[in-house]
Structure 1
Amino acid sequence: MFRSRRRKIERLDFILAGAQKSGTTALHYFLSKHPDITIGDQQEMHFFDNDAAFVSHVDYEQLHKHYPLLAPSTIAGDCTPSYMYYEPAAERI
């Protein structure tokens, strides 16, 4: 009857970065169970700490392809703990 409009991801709504053994895997698991949150098809995307992706023109489709079409109320995020330690990642985010 009513069909919700799905949208392609344009940007991430949140990033989870953290120390090893600090619970990021558990947080990833619990967030992935929420119906209005998607965190992609991989636990750690490693997009913003991938130097090769930022040599020239950045192709964000390489990140966005890991996310399904989203309902209007759904938010999208990435859970890659190493972003916390890799200084260029903060600038890229």
Structure 2
Amino acid sequence: MRSPGTSYFVYIVASPSRTIYIGVTNDLARRVREHRMRETPGFTATYKVDRLVWFEEFADPAAAISREKQLKNWTRAKKIKLIESMNPAWNDLSSE
């Protein structure tokens, strides 16, 4: 059972060369900080994917997971179009 007021986020982080990673979390600030600090070895650490460029908030964790899966199945072009609809300059949204 979820706590009242708990939010879930689907997010996209990117590298300076625009390599992207899509994830889901219940603590967006913590998760972006983990990407930035490269705390977990793997794709995002290797490719320096650490700038938050897009996110969407959900109240229901199942809806967030479903959306994450949907986005992961999209073409790269469609993902880029989504990012640029909210953030045309690919600014790091975690600093705002």
Q: What TM-score comes out, normalization by structure 2 length?
A: 0.27
Specify the structure having the higher radius of gyration (Cα).
Answer: 1
Between Structure 1 and Structure 2, the one with more strand by share is 2
* Structure with greater proportional helix content: 2
Provide TM-score, normalisation by structure 1. Answer: 0.28
Q: Which has the higher contact order (CA 8 A, sep 6+)?
A: 1
